[in-house]
A and B are shown apart, each in its own frame.
Chain A
Amino acid sequence: MKYVDEFRDKKLIDKLAREIRESVDLGRIYRFMEVCGTHTMAIFRFGLKNILPANIELISGPGCPVCVTPNGYIDEAISLAAMKDVVIATFGDMLRVPGSHSSLEKERARGAAVKIVYSTMDAVALAKKNPEKEVIFLGIGFETTIPTVAQSIIAAKRGNIHNYSVLCGHKTMPQILRALVADRDLNIDGFLLPGHVSAVIGVRPYGFIPDRYGIRCVVAGFEPVDIMQALLMLVRQDRPRVEIQYTRIIRKGGNTLAEDSITEVFKRSASVWRGIGEVKKSGLAIKDRYSDFDAARKFDIKKGRSKENKRCICGDVLKGSKTPLDCSLFAKACNPEYPVGACMVSSEGTCAAYYRYGERS
């Protein structure tokens, strides 16, 4: 077993689709939110919407890290990139995100040193190899990615690599879900919860969603069989609770080694989400003991006023209150070639998924 093809078995997918059709109450509509951008992409890629009954609506949530990163963060990264002897190290998807006036890709074309890395450890290695440069890693992402960034800071400190730092824009999942469910306009019957975030934090942090708000939850894997089974579990759940579909990965208590590395380096802080605004305790900041590795404290970053395109409705799309089809820019002024908003840039963005997989009207 290689844990991929077995979970893409067409027979099983068809069988699950039949079971879902037979289990739904035709007299009602089910609104389920897939929180994670990787789920959004898988749902489109495998065409799962086409085999679900019409009364199941899948709504994309705020779990695409690139999409929820506000313009202000991109602006800061760009102003760091303009400094002498600075190398920006980043995962590839951040490159094309437009800030208020430019993008890292455009700045790179103008001569800024921006390097794409596969792993945070590659960024640390880059710093070690270039002691005359300051290597700044763009720390964005949720609990799946955060331990890998924590580990890079711990390694840099241990290895006395003081020309490495992180511009911390990390966000955490349970806190944004708390803000979402507290919003009375949100009309959601169930959450397809992110499998890989949950591999790190476990499932206990989600307990308040069924307990306090009566909303069903299933933690799901990312292959089509996983997603279909999780949807069946959501449809069939009689009493709202957090169930785990992705049992081959998830432990209820999460991965304590990964969580420990997060708490070693980071502390909770408020965070600004694109289109949603500042949400209390929904982000992370670097602890004082690692302040030497905090780019925000190490460098004097020019803070301009950030601005967003007023016609872009990324924010509403991220909250699940609108779809890309409600946007006047979608597939016209805003497309993957010339993206206006982050949801079109990231390959996991809802707008990019709608565009790529042909949901244009």
Chain B
Amino acid sequence: MCLGIPMKLVKIDGDTGLVESGGLRKSANLSFVKGAKKGDYVLIHAGFAMERIKPKEAVKTLRALRDAGIN
């Protein structure tokens, strides 16, 4: 029930936004991600954007895993 789907914010209208993933578009409540901008990826749970996804951290995690130790 705590499922969250990363979706791209494509339109903002006050506290409501339009998010998209794989061609699917949905409206989302943005009350919890003030400051999110068009083009940001947000985590969608039950019609709400719960958090903005930090691209730098995602890259850091993946790079560290690819570079680390054995290959």
A contacts, CB < 8 Å to B: 1-4, 6-7, 12, 15-16, 18-19, 22, 36-38, 63-66, 91, 93, 118-122, 141-142, 144-145, 147-148, 151, 194-197, 199-200, 222, 225, 229, 245, 247-249, 251, 255, 257-258, 261, 346, 348
B4/A222 in contact, CB under 8 A: yes
B45/A145 in contact, CB under 8 A: yes
B1/A65 in contact, CB under 8 A: yes
Taken together as a complex, chains A and B put the C-alpha atoms of A247 and B60 apart, in Å, by: 9
A257/B2 in contact, CB under 8 A: no
Provided the pairs A15-B71, A142-B2, A151-B31 are in contact, do residues A196 and B65 lie with their beta carbons within 8 angstroms? no
B46/A15 in contact, CB under 8 A: no
Taken together as a complex, chains A and B put the C-alpha atoms of A22 and B54 apart, in Å, by: 31
Q: Which residues does chain B contribute within 8 Å of A36, judged by CB atoms?
A: 2
Cβ contacts B4-27/A at 8 Å (1 or 0 each): 101010000000000001000000
Interface residue from A229, A255, A346 paired with B50 (Cβ < 8 Å): A255
Number of residues in B with C-beta < 8 Å to the partner? Answer: 35
Say what secondary structure dominates the interface of chain A.
Answer: helix
A141/B65 in contact, CB under 8 A: no
Taken together as a complex, chains A and B put the C-alpha atoms of A18 and B60 apart, in Å, by: 21
B65/A16 in contact, CB under 8 A: yes
Name the residue of chain A whose CB is nearest to the CB of B69: A19
Taken together as a complex, chains A and B put the C-alpha atoms of A348 and B70 apart, in Å, by: 34
Q: Which residues does chain A contribute within 8 Å of B2, judged by CB atoms?
A: 36-38, 63, 141-142, 144-145, 194-197
Q: Which residues does chain A contribute within 8 Å of B45, judged by CB atoms?
A: 144-145, 148, 196
Q: Which residues does chain A contribute within 8 Å of B29, judged by CB atoms?
A: 119, 121, 148, 151
Q: Which residues does chain A contribute within 8 Å of B68, judged by CB atoms?
A: 19
Q: How far is the CB of A62 from chain B (nearest CB, A)?
A: 13
Q: Which residues does chain B contribute within 8 Å of A3, judged by CB atoms?
A: 6, 41, 53, 58
Q: Which residues does chain B contribute within 8 Å of A251, judged by CB atoms?
A: 51
Name the residue of chain B whose CB is nearest to the CB of A254: B51
Q: How far is the CB of B14 from chain A (nearest CB, A)?
A: 13
Provided the pairs A18-B70, A145-B1 are in contact, do residues A249 and B51 lie with their beta carbons within 8 angstroms? yes
Interface residue from B1, B32, B58, B70 paired with A64 (Cβ < 8 Å): B1
A258/B50 in contact, CB under 8 A: yes
B1/A93 in contact, CB under 8 A: yes
Q: Which residues does chain B contribute within 8 Å of A142, judged by CB atoms?
A: 1-2
Q: How far is the CB of B25 from chain A (nearest CB, A)?
A: 14
Q: Which residues does chain B contribute within 8 Å of A141, judged by CB atoms?
A: 1-2
> 6 tightest A-B contacts by CB?
A119-B47, A3-B6, A248-B58, A247-B57, A248-B57, A144-B2
Taken together as a complex, chains A and B put the C-alpha atoms of A199 and B33 apart, in Å, by: 12
A147/B48 in contact, CB under 8 A: yes
A248/B46 in contact, CB under 8 A: no
22 contacts between A and B (CB under 8 A): A2-B8, A3-B41, A3-B58, A6-B58, A19-B69, A37-B1, A37-B2, A38-B3, A119-B29, A120-B47, A141-B1, A145-B1, A148-B46, A194-B2, A195-B2, A222-B3, A245-B61, A248-B57, A249-B54, A251-B51, A261-B31, A346-B1
